[in-house]
Structure 1
Amino acid sequence: MSAEKNNITGYFRALDELKSSDPEFARFFIHFAFDEVVNHAPLEPKTRMIVILATLLGCQGLELYRDMLPVALENDVTPVEAKEIVYQAVAYLGMGRVLPFLRVTNEIMQERGIALPLPPQATTTLEDRGEKGLQTQVDIFGKRMRETLNNEPAETRHIREWLAGNCFGDYYTRNGLNYAQRELITFFFLAAQGGCEAQLLSHATGNMLVGNDKSFLIRAVSQCIPYIGYPRALNALRCVNEAAEKLNKIKE
């Protein structure tokens, strides 16, 4: 039994309820989620918690997120990092789904005596966010991103420009998380919400390009199975395998 398991079960209010009302289910879920999964090819605790927070945002697991955020903060996820995960989720999930998580995050931080607002993390302005966002896309995915923007039809070019300026310029350029962490949380926003396999494949590739290799992503997906179930996890693994195959062919 890991120290992390004790932290998690200590905060998991749902588990206390289920131990009384559904003891058999609670017993095998706890064993699977907090022994079997945690201890199989484990991730470093901080990384694991970052992945789980992003996954819970993606699958709209607000009540579990409420229990998990304090655990994340006790496993070296900083308040700035936690907020950056929530902020970036807006680009992939929409404000309609993220606002409740932002409110819960603020509540928990205030309960823990964390002063809000947190220090600013922006590195762009309204004037340069488009170019810096596009450069970030190029840094992660390669020069083809400029060609993609230039070749976009006029009627949809604004969306590509928003993708560069808003998604990447407003979020990815911020301090608090590095490119590898931002690509990782994006992957799990997409994997957990489902139905985004085309984008999931692109971001599986992006992860590998910034150093989150196939083995690492498989371990990360494995850690999320208790929270998103097998179908979405298997879809994510298929995208990981496909991205790895494509990159290997490019290298050959």
Structure 2
Amino acid sequence: MAITEAAQSNHDQLFPGHISTLKVSDPELIEIFDNWAFDEIIKASDMDIRLRLMVQLAALIACHAVGEYRAMLDGALNVGVTPVEVKEIIYQAVPYAGMGRVFDFIHATNEVFRNRGINLPLEGQSTTTAQTRHAEGLAIQKRFFGERIDAMVAQSPKDQLHIQHFLSANCFGDYYTRKGLDLKTRELLTFAMLAALGGCEPQLAGHVAGNLAVDNDRQVLIDTLTQLLPFIGYPRTLNALRVVDEGTSA
């Protein structure tokens, strides 16, 4: 077996002039993986290359795959994903993967940026204030999930109401309202993160509905999972596909 011309071309587009050390130490594995991930997988959907790299970066954060993230970050920057977009992917991961998992990626990204001569900090993207964050976050929640948000608050035990407040003000008010990425992209990134985390099927189901509300249709969600498959594996991909099937059935 040899690496196909298409796989080599797609790999070189992301990593021009790079020679993998694994290609020397583990040539059979690299031939299998590259022919699949950089040829067959890419042919299986029409996803734009920039969006493909963004959802893959989001999934790698959720998997806590720091080494692979660093490699793919270079590829993403090489094909036009902007530093602001990269930072917003990382920030969007905080309410879903948690700072304990995201912390390492902030430092890895900053190191890559410094090596590329990208000055930090980047321009701020926040749009809300302490006074507006809850109302603006709640508005986005209701756009995504409709009346279910009022029902969640109404049915919440009193000693858990603060969590519902945090969801509106922090998860949505602090993050979804930021500039740098539009709502459609942010919601697709969230879908990618939840699929990659695994064990989050109830939340994933909610965000299938959220994606449909911002016109990320069934095909977009399937294309996303197709492009994540090499990095998150079959079990999590198949579980996520089941949730998509349930959420998009007639």
Between the two proteins, the alignment pairs up a number of residues equal to: 244
Q: Which residue of 2 aligns with 1:8?
A: 14
Counterpart in the other structure of 2:178 = 174
C-alpha distance in structure 2 between counterparts of 1:66 and 1:140, whole Å: 32
Tell whether the 8 Å contact from 2:14 to 2:76 is kept in structure 1 after alignment.
Answer: no
- Aligned-pair RMSD on alpha carbons? 1.5
TM-score by length of 1: 0.92
Counterparts in 2 of 1:158 and 1:95: CA distance versus 1, 3 Å: same
Choose the corresponding residue for 2:241, options 206, 215, 237: 237
Question: Contact 1:121–1:176 (CA<8 Å) still a contact in 2?
Answer: yes
Match of 2:138, as an amino acid? L
Residue 119 of structure 1 corresponds to which residue in structure 2?
123
Percent identity over paired residues: 46
Instruction: From the superposition, tell whether residues 209 and 108 of structure 1 become closer, same or farther in structure 2 (CA, over 3 Å).
Output: same
Amino acid at match of 1:5: H
1:87-122 Cα deviation digits (max 9, x unpaired): 111100111110000001111111111111111111
- The answer to whether 1:165 aligns with 2:169 is yes
Letter of the 2:83 counterpart: P
Please say if 1:140 is aligned against 2:137. no
- Kept in 1: contact 2:137–2:169 (CA 8 A): yes
Are residue 209 (structure 1) and residue 218 (structure 2) matched?
no
Answering whether residue 36 of structure 2 is matched by residue 64 of structure 1, we say no
Deviates more, 1:226-235 or 1:131-140: 131-140
Distance (whole Å) between structure 2 residues aligned to residue 27 and residue 45 of structure 1: 22
- How many angstroms does 1:153 deviate by? 2.0
Task: Deviation per CA, 1:35-72: give whole Å up to 9, x if none.
Answer: 11112223110110111001101111110100011211
Q: Which runs of 5+ in 1 are unaligned?
A: none
Unaligned stretches of 5+ in structure 2? 1-5
Which residues of 2 match residues 74-153 of structure 1 at below 5 A?
A: 74-153=78-157
- Tell me the SS of whatever aligns to 2:158: coil
Contact kept, 8 Å, 1:11 with 1:67, in 2: the verdict is no
What is the CA distance between 1:127 and its match in structure 2? 1.6
Letter in 1 for 2:226: S
CA contact (8 A) 2:192 2:224 kept: no
TM-score by length of 2: 0.93
Aligned residue for 1:38, secondary structure, equals helix
Distance across 1 between alignment mates of 2:189 and 2:21: 30
- 8 Å CA contact retained: 2:50, 2:76: yes
Match of 1:22 in 2: 26
Give the whole-Å Cα distance in 2 for the aligned partners of 1:189 and 1:232: 11
Change (3 A) 1:11 1:150: farther
**Structure 2: how far apart are the matches of 1:132 and 1:42?**
34
Q: Is the 8 A contact 1:134 1:146 kept in 2?
A: no
**Whole-angstrom CA distance in 2 between matches of 1:8 and 1:27:** 17
The amino acid across from 1:162 in the alignment is F
SS in 1 for 2:181: coil
